[in-house]
Structure 1
Amino acid sequence: MPSNKATAAAPIATGVLLAGTATREVAQNGLEIWTTLALAGGLSAVAVGLSVLTGLSGFDSDDALDGHHDRTTVALAGLALTSIAVGAGIALA
Structure 2
Amino acid sequence: MPSNKATAAAPIVTGVLLAGTATREVTQNGLEIWTTLALVGGFSAIAVGLGVLTGLSGFDSDDDLNGHYDRTTVALAGLALTSIALGAGIALS
Q: TM-score, normalised by structure 1?
A: 0.89
Give per-residue Cα distances to partners, 1:49-76, cap 9 Å, x unaligned: 00000112065417xxxx8x81111100
Is there any run of 5+ residues in structure 1 with no aligned partner, and where? Answer: none
Q: Tell me how far apart the structure 1 counterparts of residues 51 and 63 of structure 2 sit (CA, whole Å).
A: 15
Q: CA RMSD in A?
A: 2.1
Matched-pair contact (CA < 8 Å) for 1:58–1:70: no
Equivalent residue letter for 2:7: T
Encode CA deviations 1:25-57: one digit per residue, 9 max, x unaligned. Answer: 000000000000000000000000000001120
Count of residues paired in the alignment: 90
Change (3 A) 1:58 1:37: farther
Q: Which residue of 1 aligns with 2:83?
A: 83
Residue aligning to 1:27: 27
5+ unaligned residues in a row in structure 2: which ranges?
A: none
Rounded to whole Å, the distance in 2 between the matches of 1:79 and 1:60 is 23
Identity of aligned residues (%): 84
Aligned partner of 1:17 in structure 2 is 17
The TM-score, its normalising length taken from structure 2, stands at 0.89
